[in-house]
Amino acid sequence: MTINFATGFSAIRNQETAVRRLTGLLRSGNIPHAFLFTGIDGIGKKKTALTFAGALNCQRVDEQGVAEDDAVVPCGKCRPCKKIASGHHPDIIVVAPEKSRIKIAAIRDLGRMLAVKPYEARQRVVIIDQAQAMNPKAGNALLKLLEEPPRKTFLILTAGNTYSLLPTVVSRCQQVKFKPIPEHSVVTHLEKKGVPHEEAAILGKLANGSFGKADSLADTDWVNRRQWILQVVEPQDAGKKDSGQAVLSLAFSEILARDREAILDTLEFMKSWFRDLAVVRADSDRVVNKDQLDRIRQTARRYRTPQLLSKIDVLEAAQKNIEANANIRLTLDVMMMNL
């Protein structure tokens, strides 16, 4: 991940509370050795962690991380800043999941790296991205590092929440909460990227407060993907059991299981579709997929509201199971059969 330090913490949008807390710690010089940044994906946790690492090591600031003008932003021009921004600083270490897991071997390797002095950094920073991907053994191995942190080393964990981590790990970190991005900010963000307003408005709802998810949806051919999904989730003939539809549903889960990055986004869209079917008769202004309003009205006639709410429950259960690292293919097969 490369970042631009030119505007420092002001580039972390819609996270004023988190930024104010971190810059206050930098100014005071009383910085805890371990942080836990929590919040949904795609809202700036990792970017903030790297900016914090830059502020700790920028040559224009003193040992406490504060420049003569009381600023606590990395300059983006000095050698440490350039290395950190480009992802090539040897003492800014990022540990990320491999195949959705952070295993104990990765934490042990980290421990060996931290046993020696930093190569060149004034303050070494370790970022454990998506720390919820650690298995229990990895979490316990990390606990040892948190209990006896090396000198001049700060650890920053990022995670969606605290309950997916060992309580002992959480208790040894100072938590900084990141909030979802307001929908209007996501829409504006997409429009600046050239996404037409109508499409940006839909994606802004589907993104659920995440710039990252909004960008992911905008960068894919989501209109055609949506059509593919709807061919599966909409009944071909209400009142008629079609074995071909069952085969199509299971084929859908097989294809979806291969694309791990898109699974949760796809399930979120499916939830939005059934939600639209449930609310359209009461208030069409609350429909997310407004460009499909006529189709939604027509399809909604096939369902009773309890049926739609039941389908949403099925999708939410599948999301929770996948986030809890359940078998993805089995989870999707069961989901499709229940739908």
Out of 69-73, 254-258, 282-286, least confident range: 69-73
Query: Tokens 């900084």 identify what position?
Result: 176
Does any domain span residue 191?
Answer: no
Task: Kindly tell me if the per-residue pLDDT of 153 is higher than 90.
Answer: yes
Q: Is 184 exposed, middle or buried (0-12, 13-18, 19+ CB in 10 A)?
A: exposed
For residues 150 and 246, membership in a common domain is answered with: no
The whole domain housing 293 covers: 220-338
Strand intervals (E) in 101-225: 124-128, 153-159, 174-177
Does any domain span residue 272?
Answer: yes
**The domain that contains 164 carries what CATH number?**
3.40.50.300
For residues 264 and 140, membership in a common domain is answered with: no
> How many Å apart are CA 152 and CA 33, to the nearest integer?
9
Does any domain span residue 267?
Answer: yes
User: What's the domain count of the chain?
Assistant: 2
Domain termination site, one of 177, 205, 237: 177
**The domain that contains 324 carries what CATH number?**
1.20.272
For residues 19 and 166, membership in a common domain is answered with: yes
For residues 137 and 238, membership in a common domain is answered with: no
Encode pLDDT of 294-338 as tens digits. Answer: 999 999 999 999 999 999 999 999 988 887 778 999 999 999 989
For residues 148 and 233, membership in a common domain is answered with: no
> How many Å apart are CA 55 and CA 8, to the nearest integer?
8
Encode pLDDT of 35-63 as tens digits. Answer: 999 999 889 999 999 999 999 998 876 54
Q: Which residues lie closer than 8 Å to 120 by C-beta, 6 or more apart?
A: 80, 90, 91
Task: Tell me the average pLDDT across 231-249.
Answer: 67
Encode pLDDT of 101-111 as tens digits. Answer: 899 999 999 99
Domain termination site, one of 115, 146, 177: 177
Domain termination site, one of 142, 162, 177: 177
For residues 129 and 44, membership in a common domain is answered with: yes
Q: What is the mean pLDDT of the chain?
A: 87
